[in-house]
Amino acid sequence: MTFTIAFLPGDGVGPEVADAARAVLAACRLDIAIVDAPFGGAAIDAAGAPYPAETKAAVADADAVFLGAVGGPKWDDAPVRPEKGLLDLRRDLGVYANLRPTNVAPGFEDRSPLRPEVARGVDFLIVRELNGGVYYGDREEGTARASDLCVYTKEEVARVARVAFEAARGRRGRLASVDKANVLATSRLWRAAVEELHAAEYSDVELEHVLVDAMAMHLITRPVGFDVILTENMFGDILSDEASVLSGSIGMAPSASLGDGKGLYEPIHGSAPDIAGKGVANPVGAILSAAMLVRYSMKQENVAQRIEAAAREALQSGAATRDLGGEMSTEAMAQAIIDRVG
C-alpha cells in the first residue's frame, strides 16, 4: 500500500533541504507518494494564512508530514506570523513528544565547538514535551504589562514521560528529567508525575532530576554523561538548540514529533534567509529527519539505518557543506549520501 507524505517545504532554505530529503527517499525505492503544500510565510504570500485550508486537507489525507523550515524577517509584521501555523499544525496532529538525537560520531570530535575529549562519545536523545506549557497558555499582550501562562496537567506529563522511559529502555537505561522545581509550580507537578510513573512502571530505568540551569551547563561540560533527557516545551526548545551544535552544526540535527497518530518530521534549523536560494544549506538534518520518518511512521528500520549509515559514510569521506568547513552545495551533499544509500 502506497504511503503518503505531506511535504511542506516552507520558507528560506526549507524548499532546498526538503528537496534533498525527497531525493534520498526516492533513492531508497520506497512505495511512497509525496504531496506538496504551502506552509508558513510562503503560504501567507500565496493564500493569506500560514496554514491554509488546502494544506490542512493535504495533512489530513497523509500518513506522515515532512516540514522544511518556517519563518523569516519578511513576515515579522504579518498579522499572523508563520510560526503560528507550526503551533497549529502540531496541535492538529496531536504530537506531544519531540525527539531530538544528538551524537558526535567517532572522528568528528574536532568539528564540535567543544574540546575533542569532551565531545568524544556524545550520544543522547532529548524528548521534549511539544503540545503544552507556556507556548500554548493564555497570554496578555501589552507595552506596560504582559503575561504568558504556563499550564501542565499530570496526564500531559505522564504521556511524554512514558515515551522517554521507553526510549531509555531501548538505549542505555538512563533518564534525566529536567525541570525548575525549586521555583515553578508546574515543575513540581512535572517532577512528581515523573516519579510516580517511574515507581509504577519503569523502576528498571535509572532516573535523575536535573534543574534546567544546571543542565544547560552540563551539556557543555559533560554531555557524554547523558542518555535520554526529558523536559517540558520551552526548556526543551532551548536545550535542544544548545545540544544541536555539539556535532558541529545545527544543520546536522533532525527531529521527529510523535503522538498517537501521524508523525511530523523536520530538521531543527531555521529558515536561514541569509543563505536561502544560494544552494549552500546543509541538508543532513533534513535527510536524517526523513530517516526518522521511515523508522517511526513507515516502520522500516532497515531502510532508516541505510540512510543514517549513508550520511555518516559521506561525512567520514570528507563531504561537507560550508557550515562544516567544506565547499559542497546542498545538492552535491545530498548526492554524496544518495551514492551510498545502496
Instruction: Give yes or no: residues 101 and 88 share one domain.
Output: no
pTM exceeds cut of 0.95: no
pLDDT on residue 167: 96
87 lies in the same domain as 155: no
Q: Are residues 118 and 229 in the same domain?
A: yes
Q: Using the 3D structure, point to which of 221, 248, 275 is the last residue of a domain.
A: 248
| 309 plus 230 within the same structural domain | no
- 81 and 153 in a single domain? The answer is no
Q: Which of 213, 248, 283 is the last residue of a domain?
A: 248
pLDDT of residue 296: 95
Residue 255 covered by a domain: no
Q: Give the DSSP H/E element, type plus range, for residue 265.
A: strand 264-265
**Is 138 considered catalytic here?**
no
Residue 111 has a pLDDT of 84
Q: Is 135 a catalytic residue?
A: yes
Domain boundary residue, one of 206, 221, 248 = 248
Is 122 in the same domain as 216?
Answer: yes
- Whether residue 142 lies inside any domain: the answer is yes
Tell me the CATH number at 42: 3.40.718.10
- Residue 16 sits in the same domain as residue 83: yes
Q: Give the count of domains, the chain.
A: 2
Please report whether residue 254 resides in a domain: no
- In the set 84, 88, 135, 148, the catalytic residue is 135
Question: What is the CB neighbour count within 10 angstroms for residue 147?
Answer: 10
Give yes or no: residues 63 and 112 share one domain: no
pLDDT at residue number 105: 81
Range of the domain at 176: 96-248
Regarding whether 103 and 234 lie in a shared domain, the answer is: yes
* 6 three-class SS: strand
Return the closest-CA partner of residue 16 out of 286, 315, 269.
286
Of 45, 61, 110, 213, which is the active-site residue? 213
Partners of 286 in the beta sheet? none
pLDDT of residue 342: 77
DSSP state of 79: S
In DSSP notation, 175-220 reads EEEEE-TTT-HHHHHHHHHHHHHHHHH-TTSEEEEEEHHHHHHHHH
Same domain, 58 and 110: no
By the 8 A CB rule, do 279 and 245 touch? no
Helix (H, G, I), strand (E, B) or coil at 52: coil
Q: Is 121 left (phi over 0), alpha (psi -120 to 50) or beta?
A: left
- Closest listed residue to residue 99, CA positions, set 171, 37, 12, 36: 171
Which is the catalytic residue, given 36, 88, 92, 241?
241
Instruction: Tell me if 256 is assigned to some domain.
Output: no
Residues 158 and 265 both lie in one domain: no
Residue 265 lies in a domain: yes
Averages of pLDDT over runs of 10 residues in the chain (342 residues) are 97 98 97 97 96 97 98 92 92 95 87 92 96 93 97 98 97 98 98 98 98 98 97 96 90 94 95 96 98 97 96 93 94 98 86
Is 34 within the bounds of a domain? yes
304 with 236, same domain? no
Catalytic residue among 202, 237, 262, 296: 237
